[in-house]
Structure 1
Amino acid sequence: MLEEKNDNLSRQENEADGNLENNATASDQFQKEHLEATPETEPSDMPAEDNVVVPAEASPTDTAMDTKNQMALDAIADTNAEESEDETLKDRHEISMQDYDTLSLEQLVEELKNLVSNEKVMSFKDHIEEVKKAFLAKYNHLVEEKKEEFLAENQDPTEDFQYHSPLKTQFDKFYSQFRDTKNTHFKSLQTNLKTNLENRLAIVEELKELINPQENIKDTLKHFNDLRERWKNAGPIPKDKYNHVWNNFHFHVENFYDYLHLDREARDLDFKHNLEQKQKIVARVEELVNEADINKAFRELQDLHRIWKEDIGPVSREHRDEIWNKFSDLTKQMHDKREVLFENQRGTELENLEKKKEIIAKIEVLATEKVNAHSQWLAQIEKVEALRTAFFSAGKVPSDVNEETWASFKTAVRNFNSFKNSFYKDIKKDQNDNLSLKTALVLKAKELQESLDFAATTPIMKQIQEEWKQIGHVPRKYSDKIWKEFKDACNHYFEKLKEQKNEENSEEVEAFDNKKAYLETLREFQLSGDHKTDLDAIKLHIETWKNFGKVPFPRRHIEGKFNKILDALFEKLSLSKKDTDMMRFANRMDHLSESHDTRKLDNEKIFLMRKIDEVQNEIFQLENNIQFFTNTRNAKKENSIVLEVRKNIAIHKESLDVWKEKLKQLRNLKIE
Structure 2
Amino acid sequence: MEANDLSKSGNEEQDLNSVENTENKTPENVSSDTNSETSVEETSKPIESVEETTEETAKVEEEKPELDKVDLSVLSREKLVDRLRYITRNFEVLQIKDEVEDIKSIFYKIYHAELAVLKEKFLESGEPEENFAPPIDHFESEAKALIKDFKAKKSEVAHKIEAEKEANLVAKYEIIEAIKNLLNRQESLNETFHDFRELQQQFHKIGQIPQAKVRDVWDTYNLHVENFYDYVKINKELRDLDLKKNLVLKTELCEKAELLIDETAVVNSFKTLQKYHDRWREIGPVPKELKDELWERFKAATTKINQKHQEYFEGLKVQLAANLEAKTKLCEEVEEIVAGKIESPKQWEEKSKQLIAIQQKWKTIGFAPKKDNNTIYERFRGVCDKFFENKRTFFKDYKNEQSDNYNKKVELCELAEQLKDSTEWRKTSEALIKIQKDWKQIGPVPRRQSDAIWHRFRAACDFFFDNKSKNANKADASQVANLDKKVALIAEVKAFVNKEDNEETFKALQAFQKQFSEIGHVPYKEKDNVNQEFRNEINKHFDSLNMDEYHKNVQKFRNRIENLKNSGNSDDKVYQERHKLQLKLKQLEADITTWENNIGFFSKSKNADSMLKDFQRKIENGKRSIELLKEKIKMLNRID
> For this structure pair, what is the TM-score category when the shorter chain's length is used for normalisation?
0.3 to 0.5
TM-score normalised to structure 1 length: 0.43
* Relative contact order, higher structure (CA 8 A, sep 6+): 1
- TM norm structure 2: 0.45
Structure with the greater alpha carbon radius of gyration: 1
